[in-house]
Amino acid sequence: NAGVTQTPKFRILKIGQSMTLQCTQDMNHNYMYWYRQDPGMGLKLIYYSVGAGITDKGEVPNGYNVSRSTTEDFPLRLELAAPSQTSVYFCASSYSGPSSYEQYFGPGTRLTVT
């Protein structure tokens, strides 16, 4: 199993450009998440999904959009990039069992907006 994969690994954007961060998991997990990690800080939740077709906002959703058309994929869209979105982005997934809260993380995408 590949687990959670993310592309690209690195990206530099100019202010105002758009891009999509890709995330795919092959564990048949219902729950998927996007976090951002700023230097010296913990991870903050951007968006999450509890299943295909269902998404909701986390703590810091402004400037981002998501979709979940399949169980496997959970792309994150940045429409108008701003310097404040310079960060490392992590996708994660988890099983939806009654006591299963462990999350599996992808390797991250390092984004710089200049």
> Which residue from 45, 104, 55 is spatially nearest to 75, judged by alpha carbons?
55
Report, in Å, the least distance between residue 15 CB and another protein. Answer: 27
> Which residue from 84, 83, 91, 94 is spatially nearest to 108, judged by alpha carbons?
91
Amino acid at 113: V
> Which residue from 31, 35, 41 is spatially nearest to 21, judged by alpha carbons?
35
Quick one: 106 or 113, whose CB is closer to another protein?
A: 106
Determine, following the binding rule CB under 8 A, whether residue 94 of this chain makes contact with another protein.
Answer: yes
Do residues 3 and 25 touch, judged by C-beta distance below 8 A? yes
Report, in Å, the least distance between residue 47 CB and another protein. Answer: 10
Please name the residue that has the structure tokens 């690994």: 9
Site pattern 53..92 for another protein (x: CB under 8 A): ---x-x-------------------------------x-x
Quick one: 18 or 112, whose CB is closer to another protein?
A: 112
Report, in Å, the least distance between residue 92 CB and another protein. Answer: 8
Quick one: 14 or 40, whose CB is closer to another protein?
A: 40
